[in-house]
Structure 1
Amino acid sequence: MGMEFDVVKLGFSLAGIIILLFLPPYLDGIARRVKARLQYRRGPPLSQTWYDLQKLFSLPSVRSTRSALFTWAPYLALASSITAALLLPYGNIVPINIGFNLIVFFYVILMVSVLLMLAGLTVQSAFSHLGSAREMQIILTVEPLIAILYGVMAYNAGSLNIARIIAHLHLTPSLVLTYGVLAYALYVESGFVPFDIAEAEQEVIGGPLSEYSGRLLGVFYYAIHIKRFALLWFFISVLVLPWLGTIATSIKAVEVLALQFLLTLAAYPIIAALEATNARLRVDQVVKMNTRMFFAGVIILAMAFMGW
Protein backbone atom coordinates (compact mmCIF):
# COMPACT_ATOMS: atom_id res chain seq x y z
CA MET A 1 0.00 0.00 0.00
CA GLY A 2 2.85 2.34 0.90
CA MET A 3 4.65 1.55 -2.36
CA GLU A 4 1.46 2.19 -4.33
CA PHE A 5 1.11 5.61 -2.67
CA ASP A 6 4.73 6.42 -3.47
CA VAL A 7 4.16 5.58 -7.13
CA VAL A 8 1.04 7.77 -7.24
CA LYS A 9 2.88 10.63 -5.53
CA LEU A 10 5.77 10.28 -7.95
CA GLY A 11 3.38 10.29 -10.91
CA PHE A 12 1.56 13.45 -9.81
CA SER A 13 4.85 15.12 -8.92
CA LEU A 14 6.19 14.42 -12.40
CA ALA A 15 2.96 15.71 -13.91
CA GLY A 16 3.33 18.88 -11.86
CA ILE A 17 6.93 19.35 -12.97
CA ILE A 18 5.98 18.89 -16.63
CA ILE A 19 3.12 21.37 -16.27
CA LEU A 20 5.16 24.06 -14.54
CA LEU A 21 8.08 23.77 -16.97
CA PHE A 22 6.19 23.63 -20.27
CA LEU A 23 2.81 25.31 -19.72
CA PRO A 24 3.79 28.92 -18.74
CA PRO A 25 5.15 29.97 -22.18
CA TYR A 26 2.04 28.54 -23.83
CA LEU A 27 -0.11 30.55 -21.41
CA ASP A 28 1.71 33.67 -22.55
CA GLY A 29 1.04 32.54 -26.12
CA ILE A 30 -2.68 32.34 -25.33
CA ALA A 31 -2.57 35.86 -23.90
CA ARG A 32 -0.79 37.19 -26.99
CA ARG A 33 -3.32 35.55 -29.28
CA VAL A 34 -6.30 36.90 -27.32
CA LYS A 35 -4.87 40.44 -27.28
CA ALA A 36 -4.26 40.22 -31.02
CA ARG A 37 -7.86 39.16 -31.69
CA LEU A 38 -9.18 41.99 -29.52
CA GLN A 39 -7.12 44.35 -31.68
CA TYR A 40 -8.43 42.73 -34.90
CA ARG A 41 -5.10 41.05 -35.66
CA ARG A 42 -4.46 37.40 -36.36
CA GLY A 43 -1.73 37.15 -33.77
CA PRO A 44 1.26 34.83 -33.38
CA PRO A 45 1.04 31.04 -32.95
CA LEU A 46 0.53 29.74 -29.41
CA SER A 47 4.13 28.48 -29.41
CA GLN A 48 5.59 31.91 -30.25
CA THR A 49 6.78 32.56 -26.69
CA TRP A 50 8.61 29.23 -26.73
CA TYR A 51 10.21 30.17 -30.06
CA ASP A 52 11.32 33.49 -28.58
CA LEU A 53 12.80 31.81 -25.51
CA GLN A 54 14.61 29.18 -27.57
CA LYS A 55 16.09 31.91 -29.74
CA LEU A 56 17.33 33.80 -26.69
CA PHE A 57 18.72 30.61 -25.12
CA SER A 58 20.82 30.03 -28.25
CA LEU A 59 22.38 33.50 -28.22
CA PRO A 60 25.35 34.64 -26.13
CA SER A 61 24.80 37.30 -23.51
CA VAL A 62 26.58 40.65 -23.53
CA ARG A 63 27.72 41.39 -19.96
CA SER A 64 27.81 45.11 -19.29
CA THR A 65 29.23 44.68 -15.77
CA ARG A 66 31.67 42.41 -13.94
CA SER A 67 29.22 41.84 -11.10
CA ALA A 68 28.62 38.15 -10.44
CA LEU A 69 25.06 38.97 -9.42
CA PHE A 70 24.33 40.16 -12.95
CA THR A 71 25.14 36.67 -14.23
CA TRP A 72 23.61 34.63 -11.41
CA ALA A 73 20.42 36.62 -10.83
CA PRO A 74 18.47 35.05 -13.76
CA TYR A 75 19.34 31.52 -12.67
CA LEU A 76 18.52 32.23 -9.02
CA ALA A 77 15.22 33.78 -10.11
CA LEU A 78 14.44 30.69 -12.19
CA ALA A 79 15.28 28.40 -9.26
CA SER A 80 13.05 30.48 -6.97
CA SER A 81 10.08 30.40 -9.34
CA ILE A 82 10.39 26.64 -9.91
CA THR A 83 10.67 26.02 -6.15
CA ALA A 84 7.55 28.10 -5.54
CA ALA A 85 5.61 26.14 -8.16
CA LEU A 86 6.70 22.84 -6.59
CA LEU A 87 5.18 23.90 -3.26
CA LEU A 88 1.70 23.90 -4.80
CA PRO A 89 -0.77 21.01 -5.10
CA TYR A 90 -1.18 19.13 -8.36
CA GLY A 91 -4.29 17.07 -7.91
CA ASN A 92 -4.00 16.02 -4.28
CA ILE A 93 -0.19 15.81 -4.25
CA VAL A 94 2.26 18.55 -3.32
CA PRO A 95 5.74 17.73 -4.74
CA ILE A 96 7.54 19.58 -1.91
CA ASN A 97 5.19 19.26 1.05
CA ILE A 98 7.05 20.70 4.03
CA GLY A 99 5.74 22.30 7.19
CA PHE A 100 4.82 26.00 6.98
CA ASN A 101 5.28 25.90 3.19
CA LEU A 102 2.93 28.89 2.81
CA ILE A 103 5.70 31.01 4.36
CA VAL A 104 8.29 29.39 2.10
CA PHE A 105 6.08 30.02 -0.93
CA PHE A 106 5.70 33.68 0.05
CA TYR A 107 9.45 34.21 0.30
CA VAL A 108 10.68 32.23 -2.70
CA ILE A 109 8.15 33.84 -5.04
CA LEU A 110 9.19 37.22 -3.62
CA MET A 111 12.83 36.43 -4.43
CA VAL A 112 12.06 36.61 -8.16
CA SER A 113 11.10 40.28 -7.80
CA VAL A 114 13.99 40.98 -5.43
CA LEU A 115 16.52 39.45 -7.83
CA LEU A 116 14.99 41.37 -10.73
CA MET A 117 15.41 44.57 -8.74
CA LEU A 118 18.99 43.77 -7.67
CA ALA A 119 19.95 42.77 -11.21
CA GLY A 120 18.93 46.19 -12.47
CA LEU A 121 21.11 47.87 -9.85
CA THR A 122 24.28 46.00 -10.86
CA VAL A 123 24.67 47.97 -14.11
CA GLN A 124 25.39 51.62 -14.85
CA SER A 125 22.13 52.43 -16.58
CA ALA A 126 19.60 55.07 -15.61
CA PHE A 127 16.82 53.00 -17.22
CA SER A 128 17.74 49.91 -15.18
CA HIS A 129 17.97 51.88 -11.96
CA LEU A 130 14.62 53.55 -12.57
CA GLY A 131 13.00 50.18 -13.31
CA SER A 132 14.52 48.71 -10.14
CA ALA A 133 13.27 51.66 -8.09
CA ARG A 134 9.77 51.10 -9.43
CA GLU A 135 9.99 47.38 -8.69
CA MET A 136 11.05 48.20 -5.14
CA GLN A 137 8.06 50.50 -4.65
CA ILE A 138 5.68 47.83 -5.86
CA ILE A 139 7.30 45.18 -3.63
CA LEU A 140 7.15 47.38 -0.53
CA THR A 141 3.46 48.14 -1.03
CA VAL A 142 1.97 44.88 -2.33
CA GLU A 143 3.92 42.26 -0.34
CA PRO A 144 2.60 43.37 3.08
CA LEU A 145 -0.91 43.10 1.64
CA ILE A 146 -0.23 39.58 0.36
CA ALA A 147 1.23 38.59 3.74
CA ILE A 148 -1.94 39.76 5.51
CA LEU A 149 -4.18 37.86 3.09
CA TYR A 150 -2.12 34.70 3.51
CA GLY A 151 -2.46 35.23 7.24
CA VAL A 152 -6.25 35.39 6.97
CA MET A 153 -6.34 32.07 5.11
CA ALA A 154 -3.89 30.46 7.54
CA TYR A 155 -5.94 31.65 10.53
CA ASN A 156 -9.18 30.45 8.91
CA ALA A 157 -7.76 26.97 8.27
CA GLY A 158 -5.59 26.77 11.39
CA SER A 159 -2.44 25.87 9.46
CA LEU A 160 0.49 27.34 7.54
CA ASN A 161 0.66 24.32 5.23
CA ILE A 162 -0.84 24.98 1.81
CA ALA A 163 -2.37 21.51 1.46
CA ARG A 164 -3.96 21.72 4.93
CA ILE A 165 -5.22 25.23 4.26
CA ILE A 166 -6.98 23.99 1.13
CA ALA A 167 -8.47 21.07 3.07
CA HIS A 168 -9.70 23.08 6.07
CA LEU A 169 -10.87 26.47 4.81
CA HIS A 170 -14.27 27.57 6.12
CA LEU A 171 -16.51 29.89 4.15
CA THR A 172 -16.78 33.17 6.07
CA PRO A 173 -17.34 36.82 5.02
CA SER A 174 -13.67 37.57 5.67
CA LEU A 175 -12.59 34.71 3.40
CA VAL A 176 -14.86 35.91 0.58
CA LEU A 177 -13.33 39.38 0.85
CA THR A 178 -9.87 37.81 0.98
CA TYR A 179 -10.45 36.09 -2.35
CA GLY A 180 -11.36 39.39 -4.00
CA VAL A 181 -8.41 41.36 -2.62
CA LEU A 182 -6.02 38.43 -3.19
CA ALA A 183 -6.96 38.36 -6.88
CA TYR A 184 -5.95 42.03 -7.08
CA ALA A 185 -2.72 41.55 -5.11
CA LEU A 186 -1.51 38.55 -7.10
CA TYR A 187 -2.35 40.35 -10.35
CA VAL A 188 -0.15 43.24 -9.25
CA GLU A 189 2.59 40.85 -8.11
CA SER A 190 2.53 39.18 -11.53
CA GLY A 191 3.30 42.49 -13.24
CA PHE A 192 0.48 42.39 -15.76
CA VAL A 193 -0.79 45.57 -17.42
CA PRO A 194 -1.62 48.10 -15.97
CA PHE A 195 0.91 47.19 -13.28
CA ASP A 196 3.91 46.45 -15.55
CA ILE A 197 5.48 49.68 -14.35
CA ALA A 198 8.97 48.34 -13.70
CA GLU A 199 9.60 47.20 -17.28
CA ALA A 200 7.51 49.94 -19.02
CA GLU A 201 9.15 49.39 -22.41
CA GLN A 202 7.87 52.64 -23.90
CA GLU A 203 9.32 54.65 -21.01
CA VAL A 204 12.34 52.86 -19.51
CA ILE A 205 13.13 50.35 -22.28
CA GLY A 206 12.61 47.20 -20.25
CA GLY A 207 13.53 48.60 -16.85
CA PRO A 208 15.73 46.26 -14.79
CA LEU A 209 16.28 44.04 -17.86
CA SER A 210 17.34 46.81 -20.24
CA GLU A 211 21.00 45.70 -20.13
CA TYR A 212 20.25 41.97 -20.43
CA SER A 213 20.47 40.05 -23.68
CA GLY A 214 20.74 36.54 -25.09
CA ARG A 215 20.66 33.56 -22.76
CA LEU A 216 20.49 35.54 -19.51
CA LEU A 217 17.53 37.55 -20.77
CA GLY A 218 15.77 34.36 -21.85
CA VAL A 219 16.29 32.77 -18.42
CA PHE A 220 14.86 35.85 -16.71
CA TYR A 221 11.81 35.86 -18.99
CA TYR A 222 11.31 32.14 -18.35
CA ALA A 223 11.49 32.72 -14.59
CA ILE A 224 8.89 35.48 -14.82
CA HIS A 225 6.52 33.27 -16.84
CA ILE A 226 6.82 30.47 -14.27
CA LYS A 227 6.29 32.95 -11.43
CA ARG A 228 3.07 34.17 -13.05
CA PHE A 229 1.94 30.58 -13.52
CA ALA A 230 2.69 29.74 -9.86
CA LEU A 231 0.71 32.70 -8.55
CA LEU A 232 -2.27 31.87 -10.77
CA TRP A 233 -2.13 28.15 -9.92
CA PHE A 234 -2.02 29.01 -6.20
CA PHE A 235 -5.03 31.30 -6.48
CA ILE A 236 -7.07 28.76 -8.42
CA SER A 237 -6.14 26.02 -5.95
CA VAL A 238 -7.25 27.96 -2.85
CA LEU A 239 -10.33 29.30 -4.66
CA VAL A 240 -11.71 26.04 -6.05
CA LEU A 241 -10.22 22.99 -4.33
CA PRO A 242 -11.54 23.61 -0.78
CA TRP A 243 -15.13 23.25 -1.97
CA LEU A 244 -14.81 20.17 -4.18
CA GLY A 245 -15.55 17.90 -1.24
CA THR A 246 -18.97 19.44 -0.81
CA ILE A 247 -19.69 19.44 -4.53
CA ALA A 248 -18.46 15.98 -5.52
CA THR A 249 -17.13 13.79 -2.73
CA SER A 250 -16.09 11.08 -5.19
CA ILE A 251 -13.97 13.35 -7.38
CA LYS A 252 -10.59 11.80 -8.16
CA ALA A 253 -7.15 13.35 -8.00
CA VAL A 254 -6.75 13.14 -11.78
CA GLU A 255 -9.99 15.06 -12.23
CA VAL A 256 -8.83 17.66 -9.70
CA LEU A 257 -5.59 18.12 -11.65
CA ALA A 258 -7.54 18.39 -14.90
CA LEU A 259 -9.81 21.01 -13.33
CA GLN A 260 -6.81 23.04 -12.12
CA PHE A 261 -5.30 22.84 -15.59
CA LEU A 262 -8.48 23.89 -17.40
CA LEU A 263 -9.20 26.77 -15.01
CA THR A 264 -5.64 28.03 -15.46
CA LEU A 265 -6.12 27.98 -19.24
CA ALA A 266 -9.48 29.72 -18.88
CA ALA A 267 -8.06 32.45 -16.65
CA TYR A 268 -5.44 33.66 -19.11
CA PRO A 269 -7.88 35.00 -21.74
CA ILE A 270 -9.45 37.06 -18.94
CA ILE A 271 -6.02 38.38 -17.95
CA ALA A 272 -5.24 39.14 -21.60
CA ALA A 273 -8.52 41.04 -21.97
CA LEU A 274 -7.69 43.13 -18.90
CA GLU A 275 -4.26 43.88 -20.33
CA ALA A 276 -5.64 44.84 -23.73
CA THR A 277 -8.27 47.19 -22.33
CA ASN A 278 -6.21 49.05 -19.72
CA ALA A 279 -3.44 51.62 -19.98
CA ARG A 280 -0.37 51.46 -17.78
CA LEU A 281 -0.72 53.29 -14.48
CA ARG A 282 1.83 55.65 -12.96
CA VAL A 283 3.86 54.29 -10.07
CA ASP A 284 2.36 56.80 -7.61
CA GLN A 285 -1.14 55.64 -8.58
CA VAL A 286 -0.22 52.02 -7.92
CA VAL A 287 1.37 52.89 -4.57
CA LYS A 288 -1.83 54.67 -3.51
CA MET A 289 -3.99 51.75 -4.65
CA ASN A 290 -1.81 49.22 -2.84
CA THR A 291 -1.84 51.32 0.32
CA ARG A 292 -5.63 51.48 0.31
CA MET A 293 -5.83 47.76 -0.30
CA PHE A 294 -3.41 47.19 2.59
CA PHE A 295 -5.74 48.96 5.02
CA ALA A 296 -8.64 46.97 3.56
CA GLY A 297 -6.59 43.83 4.24
CA VAL A 298 -6.08 44.91 7.87
CA ILE A 299 -9.86 45.26 8.24
CA ILE A 300 -10.37 41.80 6.72
CA LEU A 301 -7.79 40.37 9.13
CA ALA A 302 -9.65 41.94 12.07
CA MET A 303 -12.89 40.43 10.78
CA ALA A 304 -11.22 37.01 10.64
CA PHE A 305 -10.03 37.32 14.25
CA MET A 306 -13.59 38.14 15.31
CA GLY A 307 -14.82 34.99 13.59
CA TRP A 308 -16.59 36.70 10.72
Structure 2
Amino acid sequence: MADDFGYLNARVRARRGTLLKESFFQEAMDLSFPDFLRLLSESVYGQELSGQALPDVDQAIGRAQARLVGDLPRLASGEAREAVRLLLLRNDLTNLQAILRAKGTGRPFAEVLLLPGTLKEGLWQQAYEAQDAAGVAQVLSVPGHPLARALRGVLRETQDLARVEALLAKRFFEGVAKAAKVLEEPALRDYLALEVDAENLRTAFKLQGQEVPLEGVFIRGGRFVDRVRFARLLEGDYAVLDELAGTPFAGLSGVRDLKELEKRLRCTLLKEARKGAADPLGAGLVLAYVKEREWEAMRLRLLARRAYFGLPRVQVEEEVVCP
Protein backbone atom coordinates (compact mmCIF):
# COMPACT_ATOMS: atom_id res chain seq x y z
CA MET A 1 0.00 0.00 0.00
CA ALA A 2 1.07 3.57 -0.60
CA ASP A 3 0.52 6.68 1.47
CA ASP A 4 -0.29 8.81 -1.58
CA PHE A 5 -2.72 8.33 -4.45
CA GLY A 6 -0.26 6.85 -6.96
CA TYR A 7 -0.99 3.14 -6.51
CA LEU A 8 -4.66 3.65 -5.66
CA ASN A 9 -5.32 5.78 -8.75
CA ALA A 10 -3.51 3.29 -10.98
CA ARG A 11 -5.95 0.62 -9.80
CA VAL A 12 -8.90 2.97 -10.16
CA ARG A 13 -7.93 3.84 -13.73
CA ALA A 14 -7.98 0.15 -14.61
CA ARG A 15 -11.39 -0.31 -12.99
CA ARG A 16 -12.87 2.67 -14.77
CA GLY A 17 -12.20 0.71 -17.95
CA THR A 18 -14.78 -1.86 -16.82
CA LEU A 19 -17.58 0.70 -16.42
CA LEU A 20 -20.47 -0.17 -18.73
CA LYS A 21 -20.69 1.84 -21.93
CA GLU A 22 -23.72 3.98 -22.76
CA SER A 23 -24.54 1.56 -25.58
CA PHE A 24 -25.18 -1.14 -22.94
CA PHE A 25 -27.93 0.94 -21.33
CA GLN A 26 -29.47 1.95 -24.65
CA GLU A 27 -29.70 -1.71 -25.65
CA ALA A 28 -31.01 -2.78 -22.23
CA MET A 29 -33.95 -0.36 -22.37
CA ASP A 30 -35.72 -2.51 -24.96
CA LEU A 31 -34.84 -6.03 -23.79
CA SER A 32 -37.00 -8.73 -22.26
CA PHE A 33 -35.90 -9.95 -18.85
CA PRO A 34 -34.18 -13.10 -20.17
CA ASP A 35 -32.29 -11.01 -22.72
CA PHE A 36 -31.38 -8.49 -20.03
CA LEU A 37 -29.94 -11.33 -17.94
CA ARG A 38 -27.90 -12.48 -20.92
CA LEU A 39 -26.52 -8.99 -21.51
CA LEU A 40 -25.71 -8.56 -17.80
CA SER A 41 -23.99 -11.95 -17.66
CA GLU A 42 -21.56 -10.76 -20.35
CA SER A 43 -20.53 -7.74 -18.26
CA VAL A 44 -18.34 -7.29 -15.18
CA TYR A 45 -21.43 -8.21 -13.13
CA GLY A 46 -21.76 -11.64 -14.75
CA GLN A 47 -19.50 -13.53 -12.34
CA GLU A 48 -21.77 -12.53 -9.45
CA LEU A 49 -25.02 -13.59 -11.14
CA SER A 50 -26.14 -16.91 -9.64
CA GLY A 51 -29.84 -17.07 -10.50
CA GLN A 52 -32.53 -15.98 -12.94
CA ALA A 53 -34.85 -13.95 -10.70
CA LEU A 54 -35.01 -10.22 -9.99
CA PRO A 55 -33.56 -10.56 -6.45
CA ASP A 56 -30.62 -12.44 -8.00
CA VAL A 57 -29.89 -9.38 -10.16
CA ASP A 58 -29.99 -7.08 -7.13
CA GLN A 59 -27.65 -9.38 -5.21
CA ALA A 60 -25.25 -9.63 -8.15
CA ILE A 61 -25.12 -5.85 -8.46
CA GLY A 62 -24.54 -5.47 -4.72
CA ARG A 63 -21.76 -8.06 -4.64
CA ALA A 64 -20.04 -6.59 -7.69
CA GLN A 65 -20.20 -3.09 -6.24
CA ALA A 66 -18.70 -4.36 -2.98
CA ARG A 67 -15.90 -6.02 -4.95
CA LEU A 68 -15.23 -3.08 -7.26
CA VAL A 69 -15.68 -0.22 -4.77
CA GLY A 70 -15.85 -1.53 -1.23
CA ASP A 71 -12.23 -2.69 -1.17
CA LEU A 72 -10.73 0.66 -2.19
CA PRO A 73 -9.70 1.69 1.36
CA ARG A 74 -7.53 -1.42 1.56
CA LEU A 75 -5.55 -0.34 -1.50
CA ALA A 76 -4.04 2.72 0.16
CA SER A 77 -3.04 4.20 3.49
CA GLY A 78 -2.71 7.63 5.04
CA GLU A 79 -4.44 10.51 3.29
CA ALA A 80 -5.56 8.42 0.33
CA ARG A 81 -7.32 5.93 2.58
CA GLU A 82 -9.00 8.70 4.57
CA ALA A 83 -10.29 10.30 1.36
CA VAL A 84 -11.86 7.03 0.21
CA ARG A 85 -13.29 6.43 3.68
CA LEU A 86 -15.06 9.80 3.58
CA LEU A 87 -16.66 8.90 0.25
CA LEU A 88 -17.82 5.51 1.47
CA LEU A 89 -19.09 6.94 4.76
CA ARG A 90 -21.51 8.95 2.64
CA ASN A 91 -22.91 5.63 1.41
CA ASP A 92 -23.17 4.41 5.00
CA LEU A 93 -25.40 7.40 5.75
CA THR A 94 -27.61 6.58 2.76
CA ASN A 95 -27.80 2.94 3.86
CA LEU A 96 -28.70 3.89 7.42
CA GLN A 97 -31.47 6.20 6.23
CA ALA A 98 -32.78 3.42 3.95
CA ILE A 99 -32.76 0.90 6.83
CA LEU A 100 -34.66 3.27 9.13
CA ARG A 101 -37.18 3.97 6.35
CA ALA A 102 -37.68 0.27 5.66
CA LYS A 103 -38.20 -0.50 9.34
CA GLY A 104 -40.71 2.33 9.61
CA THR A 105 -42.78 1.11 6.66
CA GLY A 106 -42.41 -2.64 7.18
CA ARG A 107 -40.52 -3.09 3.94
CA PRO A 108 -38.45 -6.34 3.98
CA PHE A 109 -34.69 -6.12 4.23
CA ALA A 110 -34.29 -7.97 0.92
CA GLU A 111 -35.81 -4.96 -0.85
CA VAL A 112 -33.35 -2.45 0.66
CA LEU A 113 -30.81 -1.60 -2.03
CA LEU A 114 -27.55 -0.95 -0.23
CA LEU A 115 -24.64 1.09 -1.56
CA PRO A 116 -21.02 -0.03 -1.09
CA GLY A 117 -19.82 1.56 2.13
CA THR A 118 -17.54 0.74 5.03
CA LEU A 119 -19.93 -1.84 6.56
CA LYS A 120 -20.84 -5.27 5.21
CA GLU A 121 -24.35 -6.35 4.29
CA GLY A 122 -24.56 -8.74 7.26
CA LEU A 123 -24.21 -5.91 9.73
CA TRP A 124 -26.90 -3.89 7.97
CA GLN A 125 -29.20 -6.91 8.23
CA GLN A 126 -28.54 -7.04 11.97
CA ALA A 127 -29.37 -3.33 12.15
CA TYR A 128 -32.62 -3.94 10.27
CA GLU A 129 -33.56 -6.75 12.65
CA ALA A 130 -33.00 -4.58 15.73
CA GLN A 131 -36.13 -3.88 17.74
CA ASP A 132 -36.12 -0.12 17.16
CA ALA A 133 -33.94 2.79 16.02
CA ALA A 134 -32.07 2.76 19.33
CA GLY A 135 -31.27 -0.88 18.65
CA VAL A 136 -29.95 0.10 15.23
CA ALA A 137 -27.57 2.53 16.92
CA GLN A 138 -26.43 -0.23 19.24
CA VAL A 139 -25.62 -2.53 16.31
CA LEU A 140 -23.60 0.24 14.61
CA SER A 141 -21.69 0.91 17.82
CA VAL A 142 -20.17 -2.60 17.77
CA PRO A 143 -17.69 -1.73 14.97
CA GLY A 144 -17.36 1.77 16.43
CA HIS A 145 -19.08 3.48 13.51
CA PRO A 146 -19.45 7.29 13.87
CA LEU A 147 -23.10 7.13 12.77
CA ALA A 148 -23.94 5.19 15.95
CA ARG A 149 -23.24 8.21 18.17
CA ALA A 150 -24.96 10.52 15.69
CA LEU A 151 -28.11 8.38 15.64
CA ARG A 152 -28.27 8.14 19.44
CA GLY A 153 -27.99 11.91 19.70
CA VAL A 154 -30.70 12.49 17.09
CA LEU A 155 -33.11 10.08 18.78
CA ARG A 156 -32.83 12.11 21.98
CA GLU A 157 -34.22 15.08 20.04
CA THR A 158 -36.94 13.52 17.88
CA GLN A 159 -38.60 10.28 16.80
CA ASP A 160 -40.09 11.74 13.62
CA LEU A 161 -38.51 9.87 10.69
CA ALA A 162 -38.20 12.88 8.37
CA ARG A 163 -36.51 14.92 11.08
CA VAL A 164 -34.31 11.98 12.10
CA GLU A 165 -33.03 11.75 8.51
CA ALA A 166 -32.45 15.50 8.32
CA LEU A 167 -30.60 15.66 11.64
CA LEU A 168 -28.48 12.63 10.78
CA ALA A 169 -27.48 14.30 7.51
CA LYS A 170 -26.67 17.54 9.33
CA ARG A 171 -24.34 15.89 11.83
CA PHE A 172 -22.75 13.68 9.20
CA PHE A 173 -22.03 16.35 6.59
CA GLU A 174 -20.73 18.93 9.03
CA GLY A 175 -18.30 16.35 10.40
CA VAL A 176 -17.21 15.21 6.95
CA ALA A 177 -16.72 18.79 5.74
CA LYS A 178 -14.27 19.41 8.60
CA ALA A 179 -12.39 16.19 7.83
CA ALA A 180 -12.17 17.06 4.12
CA LYS A 181 -10.59 20.44 4.90
CA VAL A 182 -7.83 18.72 6.86
CA LEU A 183 -7.02 16.51 3.85
CA GLU A 184 -6.41 19.54 1.60
CA GLU A 185 -7.93 17.77 -1.41
CA PRO A 186 -9.67 20.51 -3.46
CA ALA A 187 -11.68 18.18 -5.71
CA LEU A 188 -13.05 16.24 -2.76
CA ARG A 189 -13.63 19.33 -0.61
CA ASP A 190 -15.52 21.19 -3.34
CA TYR A 191 -17.65 18.17 -4.21
CA LEU A 192 -18.60 17.55 -0.58
CA ALA A 193 -19.62 21.20 -0.28
CA LEU A 194 -22.01 20.63 -3.20
CA GLU A 195 -23.34 17.55 -1.39
CA VAL A 196 -24.10 19.80 1.57
CA ASP A 197 -26.02 22.18 -0.70
CA ALA A 198 -27.91 19.25 -2.22
CA GLU A 199 -28.83 17.86 1.19
CA ASN A 200 -30.07 21.28 2.32
CA LEU A 201 -32.26 21.49 -0.77
CA ARG A 202 -33.67 17.99 -0.13
CA THR A 203 -34.35 18.81 3.50
CA ALA A 204 -36.11 22.06 2.62
CA PHE A 205 -38.39 20.20 0.21
CA LYS A 206 -39.10 17.37 2.69
CA LEU A 207 -39.88 19.68 5.62
CA GLN A 208 -41.58 22.43 3.63
CA GLY A 209 -44.36 24.08 5.60
CA GLN A 210 -43.39 22.47 8.91
CA GLU A 211 -42.45 24.38 12.03
CA VAL A 212 -38.83 23.34 12.50
CA PRO A 213 -35.93 25.15 14.18
CA LEU A 214 -33.65 26.38 11.43
CA GLU A 215 -30.44 25.75 13.35
CA GLY A 216 -31.55 22.19 14.00
CA VAL A 217 -31.72 21.13 10.34
CA PHE A 218 -29.66 23.56 8.24
CA ILE A 219 -26.24 22.11 7.40
CA ARG A 220 -23.24 24.44 7.42
CA GLY A 221 -20.48 24.01 4.86
CA GLY A 222 -22.25 24.43 1.53
CA ARG A 223 -21.28 26.87 -1.23
CA PHE A 224 -24.49 28.22 -2.74
CA VAL A 225 -27.40 27.50 -0.36
CA ASP A 226 -27.00 29.71 2.69
CA ARG A 227 -29.28 29.96 5.73
CA VAL A 228 -31.40 32.69 4.16
CA ARG A 229 -32.07 30.75 0.98
CA PHE A 230 -32.72 27.59 2.98
CA ALA A 231 -35.27 29.38 5.18
CA ARG A 232 -37.02 30.86 2.16
CA LEU A 233 -37.27 27.49 0.41
CA LEU A 234 -38.53 25.92 3.62
CA GLU A 235 -41.38 28.45 3.47
CA GLY A 236 -42.17 27.55 -0.16
CA ASP A 237 -40.28 30.33 -1.96
CA TYR A 238 -39.21 28.52 -5.14
CA ALA A 239 -37.57 31.67 -6.51
CA VAL A 240 -34.54 30.46 -4.57
CA LEU A 241 -33.97 27.83 -7.28
CA ASP A 242 -33.99 30.48 -10.00
CA GLU A 243 -31.31 32.37 -8.07
CA LEU A 244 -28.95 29.40 -8.47
CA ALA A 245 -28.39 30.27 -12.13
CA GLY A 246 -24.67 30.47 -12.77
CA THR A 247 -23.96 27.69 -10.25
CA PRO A 248 -23.83 23.90 -10.77
CA PHE A 249 -27.47 23.86 -9.61
CA ALA A 250 -28.76 26.03 -12.45
CA GLY A 251 -30.76 23.06 -13.80
CA LEU A 252 -33.06 23.09 -10.76
CA SER A 253 -35.03 26.12 -11.95
CA GLY A 254 -38.71 25.25 -12.22
CA VAL A 255 -38.60 22.20 -9.92
CA ARG A 256 -41.62 21.94 -7.65
CA ASP A 257 -41.64 18.40 -6.22
CA LEU A 258 -39.17 16.20 -4.35
CA LYS A 259 -39.02 13.42 -6.95
CA GLU A 260 -37.98 15.81 -9.72
CA LEU A 261 -35.55 17.54 -7.37
CA GLU A 262 -33.89 14.21 -6.53
CA LYS A 263 -33.51 13.31 -10.19
CA ARG A 264 -31.92 16.62 -11.16
CA LEU A 265 -29.67 16.68 -8.12
CA ARG A 266 -28.46 13.18 -8.96
CA CYS A 267 -27.43 14.25 -12.46
CA THR A 268 -25.89 17.50 -11.24
CA LEU A 269 -23.73 15.80 -8.63
CA LEU A 270 -22.68 13.08 -11.07
CA LYS A 271 -21.57 15.72 -13.57
CA GLU A 272 -19.56 17.54 -10.90
CA ALA A 273 -18.01 14.33 -9.57
CA ARG A 274 -16.88 13.33 -13.06
CA LYS A 275 -14.80 16.49 -13.24
CA GLY A 276 -12.56 14.84 -10.67
CA ALA A 277 -11.27 12.49 -13.36
CA ALA A 278 -8.97 15.36 -14.38
CA ASP A 279 -7.24 15.03 -10.99
CA PRO A 280 -5.08 11.91 -11.52
CA LEU A 281 -2.73 12.67 -8.63
CA GLY A 282 -5.36 13.36 -5.96
CA ALA A 283 -8.73 12.23 -4.65
CA GLY A 284 -10.68 13.46 -7.69
CA LEU A 285 -10.16 10.31 -9.75
CA VAL A 286 -11.46 8.09 -6.94
CA LEU A 287 -14.41 10.45 -6.45
CA ALA A 288 -15.35 10.21 -10.12
CA TYR A 289 -15.08 6.42 -10.12
CA VAL A 290 -17.10 5.86 -6.95
CA LYS A 291 -19.95 8.07 -8.15
CA GLU A 292 -19.91 6.55 -11.64
CA ARG A 293 -20.23 3.07 -10.14
CA GLU A 294 -23.14 4.19 -7.94
CA TRP A 295 -24.94 5.63 -10.96
CA GLU A 296 -24.26 2.44 -12.90
CA ALA A 297 -25.80 0.28 -10.16
CA MET A 298 -28.87 2.50 -9.92
CA ARG A 299 -29.44 2.35 -13.68
CA LEU A 300 -29.01 -1.43 -13.77
CA ARG A 301 -31.57 -1.97 -11.03
CA LEU A 302 -34.11 0.29 -12.71
CA LEU A 303 -33.63 -1.38 -16.07
CA ALA A 304 -33.89 -4.83 -14.50
CA ARG A 305 -37.30 -3.85 -13.13
CA ARG A 306 -38.41 -2.42 -16.45
CA ALA A 307 -37.53 -5.70 -18.15
CA TYR A 308 -38.95 -7.93 -15.39
CA PHE A 309 -42.32 -6.18 -15.21
CA GLY A 310 -42.51 -5.45 -18.94
CA LEU A 311 -42.76 -1.69 -18.45
CA PRO A 312 -42.66 0.60 -21.49
CA ARG A 313 -39.31 2.23 -22.21
CA VAL A 314 -40.69 5.72 -21.68
CA GLN A 315 -41.57 4.87 -18.06
CA VAL A 316 -37.94 4.54 -17.00
CA GLU A 317 -36.00 6.38 -19.69
CA GLU A 318 -35.95 9.71 -17.85
CA GLU A 319 -34.74 8.00 -14.68
CA VAL A 320 -31.75 6.26 -16.26
CA VAL A 321 -30.45 9.05 -18.48
CA CYS A 322 -28.59 12.16 -17.40
CA PRO A 323 -28.21 14.84 -20.07
Which one scores higher on RCO, CA 8 angstroms, separation ≥ 6?
Answer: 1
Shorter-chain TM-score: what band?
0.3 to 0.5
* More helix per residue: 1
